[in-house]
Amino acid sequence: MTSHLPPPPTDQYVHLPEARLVTTRALLTARENIADTIEARAMMCVHGGAGFGKTVAVTSCLRELEPEEDIRRITFHARPTTRAVRHELFTALELPGQPPRYTGEFDNLLKIALATRPLTIVFDEAQWLSSDQLEYIRYLWDDPRTQLAVIFVGGEGCHATLRKEPMLSSRIFIWQHFTHLTPAEVLDVIPLYHPIWTNADPDTIAYADQHAAHGNFRNWARLTKHTHRALTRTGRPRADQEVLRWAFSRLG
């Protein structure tokens, strides 16, 4: 699937009115790393477990750092062929006409298009890429005419996948590993994430993290949605352990 960056309201895992993007150490580091990668027209890899905020961090940072027209994002949901990657790039670059039938012609067309101006391309869910596709991306980036900054974003398997390709991994300018929030970070950022946590007792937030969220932003989004619903239905002014236990029951 190809696109420009999605609109900000889609950043949240679930529809959660009043949820805010919070500035974590990982997000601040990502902003600096992405800025340096773009300035160098280099490649970087952002990897880590599911729900740790990798894609949201990259997307929000790019909105600040680059004009929308200079960014392309390609997301993989299954293992593609190299031909499929060519077609995804053709669509992402909004090239006119029909894709060329022959490989050499197709590659030349893409390299010419990528040389017209500096572009930043995000390959999301990059752990789905195999050796041939990674080598193809490196081939395009290596061409002296192209002006590419490339950001690979992927799950825990992404780091190992890219490391298996010596010619590619030796060209990765920056590696950034996203991990879960520490308990101290949870107490710092979750009160800023949504109003229902603003006045919550720190012990309640710590209880929620220990028993359900585990420093994972996607877990926090689901938990916040259920907790917000419980507060609305019961009329209680703020979350407590009884409300949280009801929310936990919905999370399995």
**Count of C-beta atoms within a 10 Å radius of residue 240:** 16
User: 79 CB contacts (<8 Å, ≥6 apart)?
Assistant: 128, 129, 130
Q: What is the pTM of this model?
A: 0.91
Residue 52 has pLDDT above 60, yes or no: yes
Helices 82-92/131-142 angle, 10° precision: 40
193's CB contacts (< 8 A; 6+ apart) are 19, 20, 22, 220, 224
Q: 126: closest CA among 116, 117, 136?
A: 136
Stretch 87-109: mean pLDDT, rounded?
94
Percent of the chain with pLDDT over 90: 82
Q: pLDDT tier at 4 (50, 70, 90 boundaries)?
A: confident
CB 219 within 8 A of CB 187: no
- Rounded Cα distance, 53 and 157, in Å: 16
**pLDDT the model gives residue 77:** 85
Q: Report pLDDT for 251.
A: 86
